A and B are shown apart, each in its own frame.
Chain A
Amino acid sequence: MKFVTTKVPQSGLRSKIMAEVSCFLTKMAILTIMTPGVSMERNKRVYTILLLLTALWCCGILLAPALQASHSMGASVVYSAYAPICHQIDGRCFHLFGAKWGVCIRCSAIYFSFFLSLLMYPFFRRLSFPSYPGRRWIALAVVPMIIDVLLNFTGIYPSTPMTRLMTGALFGSVLPLFILPPLLEGIAQLRSQFSARGGFLYARKAQ
């Protein structure tokens, strides 16, 4: 029995494979974007990563005094990591084991309430279809904090730990409602753009 084989030129074969790969990648990209289940999974993944990073950030704030109390060298590293974003004045910080937290009361309130609000997010809003609250909410959340800072700065009314805590917590708790939806959408869009571009490049190379 004789087998007849057709010889495909090497360059032709390569371009054929490239075209197939690009076609497959494009199909996968379209499927990833359009299939609700896949998209839902991706949104959950992004949400989980953000939640973990925020938890890590908040843990770092508490880690600084814990390390300081145990006279560890790492304390100065953790404190200096938070230094570019907060004044860290001793009198304006919460204390743990006799040492100040990594950031001041206002910043702590913002970060911890951000974390808690992010944690509660799936109970009140759908991750699968991100929606935005009205713009007035962000104004309502920011204005008290700005007023508190300005009144203190001008000396009209000195801010207290309670006002710093309350205004910071208000701002931090509203923030995830505005940040998470565009983050989920944006990552999906970037993913689709890069996938489409990758497929397009493969197709061009194949030609």
Chain B
Amino acid sequence: MLEKPNKLRIALICGVAIGTVSAVPGISLINCCCCAGVWLGGVLAMYLYKQQLTEGMPPLESSDALMLGLMSGIIGAFTATVINVVILAIFGPVEQGLMRSIVGKLLDRLVEQGGLQTDMAESMKEQIEQSIRDSGKLSNIFGSLFMTLILYPIFSILGALLGFAIFRPKNPPPTTMVQ
């Protein structure tokens, strides 16, 4: 029987995807919805891994989901921190201005359309302003890395387990069943 494909390659791809989604301004707002970006990264990892499996290889197992989720989450946490630092170092004030402008326009649009109340939009703007001011501090960078190293693997594993439940083989071999 052929060996299963290497998990590290898939985990790297999905980890970088998680990190990019979580760090790029604007797109990172997706994580405001229960870390949806990280969940989707875990699901994507399972999908890509399933695509790599060919005939003659052992079928997809739930242990693959656990390992892929864990690896993707850890890589994602480091990637997000690195991208954040790079963006901060290269663009710095430009990125902060861009962030202010994008979020400001987005919130104003939501207020105009009635999707958000004015005081709520103001409170959001204040929060974003605060996070922009604090983003450059070294302690904040390490603090954020510490938190993401805990949260991203958890949510990525949950995403990968959900992915396994969606993409699992219809008739798993008896050896994988828990008695």
Interface positions of A (Cβ within 8 A of B): 33-36, 39, 43, 80-81, 84-92, 106-107, 110, 128-130, 132, 135, 138, 149, 152-155, 158-159, 175, 178-179, 181-190, 193
- A39, A132, A193: the one contacting B168 at CB < 8 Å is A132
**In the complex, what distance in Å separates the CA atom of A129 from the CA atom of B177?**
8
State whether A155 touches B110 (Cβ < 8 A): yes
State whether B127 touches A88 (Cβ < 8 A): yes
State whether A186 touches B65 (Cβ < 8 A): yes
Interface SS, B side:
helix
Q: How far, in Å, is B18 (CB) from chain A's closest CB?
A: 12
**In the complex, what distance in Å separates the CA atom of A158 from the CA atom of B162?**
29
Taking A185-B61, A185-B176 as known contacts, 20 extra A-B pairs with beta carbons closer than 8 A to each other, sorted by chain A number, are A39-B178, A85-B151, A85-B155, A91-B119, A91-B120, A92-B120, A106-B33, A135-B166, A152-B115, A155-B110, A155-B113, A159-B115, A178-B161, A178-B166, A179-B162, A182-B164, A185-B177, A186-B64, A186-B66, A187-B63
Chain A residues with CB under 8 A of B115: 152-153, 155, 158-159
Do A129 and B179 form a contact, CB below 8 Å, given A135-B166, A155-B114, A183-B161? Answer: yes
Whether B35 is near chain A, meaning CB under 8 Å from some CB there, is yes
Q: How many residues of B contact A (CB 8 A)?
A: 41
**In the complex, what distance in Å separates the CA atom of A106 from the CA atom of B121?**
18
**In the complex, what distance in Å separates the CA atom of A36 from the CA atom of B165?**
23
